[in-house]
Structure 1
Amino acid sequence: MSFWSPRVALILALGLAATACSSALEELPDDTGEARDAIQDGYLDDGDRAVVGIYNDEIGAICTGSLIAPNVVLTARHCVSDMANERDGQITCRSTKFTDTHLARRIFVTTDAEIGRSSRYYGGSEIVLLPGTEADSFCGNDQAILILDELIPESEAVPLVPRVDVPLKRGEEYYAIGFGATNDLSTGAGLRRRRDNLFIDCVADGCPASVVKPTEWVGDTGICEGDSGGPSLDLMHRVIGVTSRGAEGCEYPIYGYVYGWAEWIKEATLHAADLGGYTAPRWATGFPTDPIYSAELGGACEQPEQCSTNACLDGYCTRPCTEIATCPSGYSCNDELGFCAKLPEPPPEDGGEG
């Protein structure tokens, strides 16, 4: 099976050679694509603003990324690095390597639904690469983090949560978002699109070892050129994959496995929070990513189904808890039940004379 080259795909996505670019704002085309359905067979997406468009001014190329903290964008390494040893534009796991990393200050991201001249851009300040002696091998290592030079306000885009604490299973449903083309001819790149009702084909060691590494997984279909670096998300809207490569015809998409590089993602996010001067997201310090652990509690109920958590205790809605996922004020974690329980009301003060 042959796979399209991300680098060739990126440059073709805007129809620009790498040397044709001098400025992200000067060289972006007026018309970045037709309003056609895609990712492939998807739909235009104005709402998922934390899925950001990336313009790399150094090579004149577009990618996609996930805003996972106010100044942190998770994307594919081939969006920020050169590559060597491609064969006729194809990725070969035995030999394709990453080489020079691009300048962070020449990479720009936007939360707008279109990568164009009028879009609002945020610049990069630092690129964080995967650790290890084999990190320059393409397959299994196609993830990178771009730290921005300013914070994106939550009023503009609420950061996504990466699923760093729960492994994937074959057959799980997911959806994918990207700014890529609608076909192999690079038609329609530059507009954010989403495709739903996709299913995981295989995960890590359950995939063919010749083309998929333990830190990758294989999805359904519909990922095209320019979607590189974009997220796949589970039905709880957590990022589970980073688009890496795929076969011709926008088939057989291979994703970088977020869970497989969980510790690196958390460490890089903590570093970015220090740089940005804000409190790191709770998932970066071990808090569960399942939104049930952050659900509101205390509402009146008679049956579990009346609660968003499907948990009704003594007439009020509650949620599960752990040593890390603690309960709010007025509640304590009932170790036997594993749920937050209301603390008893303090006895009234004795107003009588002693």
Structure 2
Amino acid sequence: MTPKTLAIALLISPILAACGGADDDPEQWSAATQPIVGGEVDDQTTGAVGLALNVLDLFFFGHCSGSLIAPNVVLTAQHCVSLTDGESPSGGVICGETDFGMTAAGAAMRVTVEPVRPEADGPEFYKGTGQVRPAPGTDNLCGYDVALIILEGQGIGATKATPLVPRLEGPPAIGDTYVAIGYGNTDPEGGGSGTRMRIDGNTVTCTGLQCPLGSSIAASEWRGDAPTCSGDSGGPAIDAEGRVMGALSRGPSGCTSSIYGDVSAWKDFIIETTLEAAELGDIDPPYWAITGSSVPPPAASPGEDCIGLCTEGHVCARSLGKRICVPSCDEENPSCPSGQSCDLHAGGCVQPPPVPAVEDDSGCTASPTPSSGNGSAWLASLLALLSLRYRRRDHFISRPCRRACGRGSGPRRSLRNRVQW
């Protein structure tokens, strides 16, 4: 191992160490280490995703889980994207002492919808961007263990995955049931990670400040009895209506229960980031980011304007500059009505935009359709297009980040936090 490789390994070791178990003290909670024990393989919930890190192509490893809540936005735990300080000697979380440090470069993040997470980087993974958004507020882990990853471009298409809807209306109540999903270990002693597992019929046991004194649960968190384990961190808790109501934060040694970050507590942060991601990716935001409600609007009929659901056999997609209900299609069934083509990212049949006419120097419109005996018009059109192309280059603008591009961008208290991934 070269000194450079060793230095990088030492830098990422705090994240790996966080994946270890906590000691037997009930006040010690293990972060970044939450597999589903006693669950079953889930090859259907494509919105529950596996996370991995690619560190300068020198190290690649799967480490966490997450929820795809928009085509290019993933909800996960902040400790899956940031280093931590102030743990117990065994690596457990101590509320009030364990803090977040440097945030990893978003370009190192990888996301897969495959039920078995590949062990090497490749086309099955979607890349993150420089946009990794930790929950705003303090650096405390307890109560702030939530983060969003913005993916490259338009993200993951509708034919590859169905995003999950975040529950925005409020926290769960004691006794509510939920499904826990993650890519973590299936054995409390270690091993079996990398496969998407689920366990149904879990119950919320306490919420926020209603939890017993000394239970190390913040106001924006809740506790459940799902037997999650190492590697499930960041994975979703899905309520009875199919909405994500929690992002897994931590749990005790033995994988007997779980503490989740309450999704509804971060409603404004989630909506704001999702709207920005839609603008960055030039895609339409999900309906809940527009309405501010997890409750879907009434299903629209074919050809009608839409922001969410459509009647059976149709999807809401952008066609000719507006969102309307169009026939659905996919790679296996790409056929569309005459004059339409299958947009695999949207999963629907759309009309291609009309080819714009181009004016020559005399002000006359030149048609893109070949005409007989008029080569000069074609030459004028070609020169005009080339001119437009080079003028566009002059107007290429680089946007700065609206916020700090990761918590490592400013001065930190330790040498480690001045190193950039």
Superposed pair shares fold, TM > 0.5: yes
Q: Which residue type is aligned with residue 47 of structure 1?
A: Q
Partner of residue 41, structure 1:
38
Q: Give the count of matched residue pairs.
A: 268
Give the Cα–Cα distance (whole angstroms) in 2 for the partners of residues 295 and 149 of structure 1. 30
Q: Does 1:257 align with 2:262?
A: yes
Q: Does 1:268 align with 2:273?
A: yes
Give the Cα–Cα distance (whole angstroms) in 2 for the partners of residues 109 and 76 of structure 1. 14
Give secondary structure in 2 for the equivalent of 1:267: helix
127, 144, 148: which one aligns with 2:151: 148
Q: Does 1:6 align with 2:7?
A: no
Give the Cα–Cα distance (whole angstroms) in 2 for the partners of residues 269 and 85 of structure 1. 31
182, 190, 193: which one aligns with 2:194: 190
Q: Does 1:71 align with 2:96?
A: no
Give secondary structure in 1 for the equivalent of 2:87: coil
Q: State, as a whole percentage, how many aligned pairs show the same letter.
A: 39
CA positional deviation for 1:198 = 0.7
Give secondary structure in 2 for the equivalent of 1:268: helix
Residues 273, 280 of structure 1: 8 Å contact kept: yes
1:190-238 Cα shifts (integer Å, max 9, x gaps):
0000000111111112113530000000011211100000000001110
Quickly say closer, same or farther: Cα 1:296–1:249, change in 2 above 3 A. farther
Give the Cα–Cα distance (whole angstroms) in 2 for the partners of residues 238 and 173 of structure 1. 12
Partner of residue 158, structure 1:
162
Within 5 A, what are the aligned runs for 1:1-354?
1-7=26-32, 9=33, 39-58=36-55, 60-88=61-89, 89-116=91-118, 117=120, 120-125=124-129, 126-132=131-137, 134=138, 136-150=139-153, 151-210=155-214, 211-291=216-296, 293-295=297-299
Quickly say closer, same or farther: Cα 1:3–1:227, change in 2 above 3 A. farther
Residues 179, 190 of structure 1: 8 Å contact kept: yes
Partner of residue 310, structure 1:
none
Partner of residue 348, structure 1:
none
Give the Cα–Cα distance (whole angstroms) in 2 for the partners of residues 287 and 95 of structure 1. 34
1:173-193 Cα shifts (integer Å, max 9, x gaps):
111100000123221000000
Quickly say closer, same or farther: Cα 1:287–1:97, change in 2 above 3 A. closer
Partner of residue 312, structure 1:
none
Q: Which residue type is aligned with residue 168 of structure 2?
A: V
CA positional deviation for 1:112 = 0.3
Give the Cα–Cα distance (whole angstroms) in 1 for the partners of residues 102 and 195 of structure 2. 28
Q: Which runs of 5+ in 2 are unaligned?
A: 1-25, 302-323, 326-421
Residues 183, 249 of structure 1: 8 Å contact kept: no
Quickly say closer, same or farther: Cα 1:295–1:197, change in 2 above 3 A. farther
Q: Which residue type is aligned with residue 81 of structure 1?
A: S
Q: Which residue type is aligned with residue 52 of structure 1?
A: V
1:131-174 Cα shifts (integer Å, max 9, x gaps):
12x2x100000000000013210111011100012332111111
Q: Which residue type is aligned with residue 145 of structure 1?
A: L
Q: Which is greater in Rg?
A: 2
1:229-287 Cα shifts (integer Å, max 9, x gaps):
00000011100000000011112200000011111111111111111111211111235
CA positional deviation for 1:290 = 2.9
Partner of residue 322, structure 1:
none
TM-score by length of 1: 0.72
Q: Which runs of 5+ in 1 are unaligned?
A: 11-37, 298-327, 330-354
Partner of residue 25, structure 1:
none
Give the Cα–Cα distance (whole angstroms) in 2 for the partners of residues 254 and 119 of structure 1. 33
1:38-91 Cα shifts (integer Å, max 9, x gaps):
721110011111111000224744100100001000000000000001012110
Give the Cα–Cα distance (whole angstroms) in 2 for the partners of residues 219 and 104 of structure 1. 30
1:324-345 Cα shifts (integer Å, max 9, x gaps):
xxxx99xxxxxxxxxxxxxxxx
Residues 170, 202 of structure 1: 8 Å contact kept: yes
Q: Which residue type is aligned with residue 173 of structure 1?
A: T
Quickly say closer, same or farther: Cα 1:195–1:3, change in 2 above 3 A. farther
Give the Cα–Cα distance (whole angstroms) in 2 for the partners of residues 85 and 215 of structure 1. 21
What's the Cα RMSD here?
A: 2.1
Residues 66, 74 of structure 1: 8 Å contact kept: yes
Give the Cα–Cα distance (whole angstroms) in 2 for the partners of residues 90 and 170 of structure 1. 26
CA positional deviation for 1:119 = 6.5
Q: Which residue type is aligned with residue 146 of structure 1?
A: I
Residues 163, 259 of structure 1: 8 Å contact kept: yes
